[in-house]
Amino acid sequence: MILPLGATEQHGPHLPLGTDTWRAVALAERLAKQLPVLVAPVIPIGCSDEHSGFAGLLSLEAATLAAVIVDCARRMADWGIRRLVVLSAHGGNGQALALAATRLRQEMPQLALWIPDAMMVCGDAVLAIAAKAGIPLTAVGLHAGEWETSELLCLRPEQVRMDQATPGYIGDMDAALAQLVANGTLALTSTGVVGDPRRADADRGERYLAAQAACYAAALTQWLIQTDQS
């Protein structure tokens, strides 16, 4: 079973609040087309307080989201699910995922659990596509940049306002991530954008999504083999 996990938060002036939720659903559905897995309804609210100060924010405490994941997993196990993948498309959910993993392994050791790290599994593939197109990392971005905007142009073009797409923070992305985590997005950029979405392209968005689905499918296949052997 795949449990998609999104978020509801600002994504600059040009993308919808549900950007991460749409992305989580799309990736889970693509996996379900490649492998014999079920997909649960997405959890659309995550841990997004780093976006405080921007309108539209809905967010849960990490312990609350972890409890929701555990509660869902417990009900799934009751009707026969024995392997669970929690697929998050929002980096801010990390603390909640760690808490949920600890609880599930303590309370439900019979449930095989995989919580993939998106950048570890898919990051290189996405950056390779961007590099081939001449898109620098500063434009690809961490939030509402070229990467996410391209994917939304592919998935939900009617919800993208490219006439309002504007660059935000376009400096060192490692420093940006540290600042975002420590002090929030608003301390980094008034636009809410970390990257530059202006070169976003729907066809490249499809390539990003296909590459990520392929990476997840390969990693998930290996994990399923390992759980079968254990």
Tokens 């009707």 found at: 79
Q: Find, among 177, 198, 199, 196, the residue nearest to 188 by Cα.
A: 177
Q: Which residues contact 122 (CB under 8 A, 6 or more apart)?
A: 211, 212, 215, 216
**Using CA atoms, how far apart are residues 126 and 142, in angstroms rounded to an integer?**
12
- What's the number of domains the chain is made of? 1
Give rounded-to-5 percent helix, strand, coil for the chain: 60, 10, 35
**Using CA atoms, how far apart are residues 45 and 118, in angstroms rounded to an integer?**
18
**Quick check: 230 pLDDT over 70?**
no
State the pairing for strand pair 112-114/2-5.
unpaired
Q: What CATH number has the domain bearing residue 30?
A: 3.40.50.10310
The tens digit of pLDDT for each residue in 146-205 reads 999 999 999 999 999 999 999 999 999 999 899 988 999 999 999 999 999 999 999 999
Which range marks the domain in which residue 208 is found?
2-229
The tens digit of pLDDT for each residue in 180-194 reads 889 999 999 999 999
Mean pLDDT of 137-147: 97
pLDDT of residue 116: 96
Long-range contacts of 78-81 (CB under 8 A, 24+ apart): 81/1, 81/38, 81/111
**Using CA atoms, how far apart are residues 35 and 33, in angstroms rounded to an integer?**
6
The tens digit of pLDDT for each residue in 5-49 reads 999 999 999 999 999 999 999 999 999 999 999 999 999 999 999
Q: What is the pTM of this model?
A: 0.95
Asked if residues 192 and 10 have their Cβ atoms less than 8 Å apart, the reply is yes
**Using CA atoms, how far apart are residues 60 and 86, in angstroms rounded to an integer?**
17
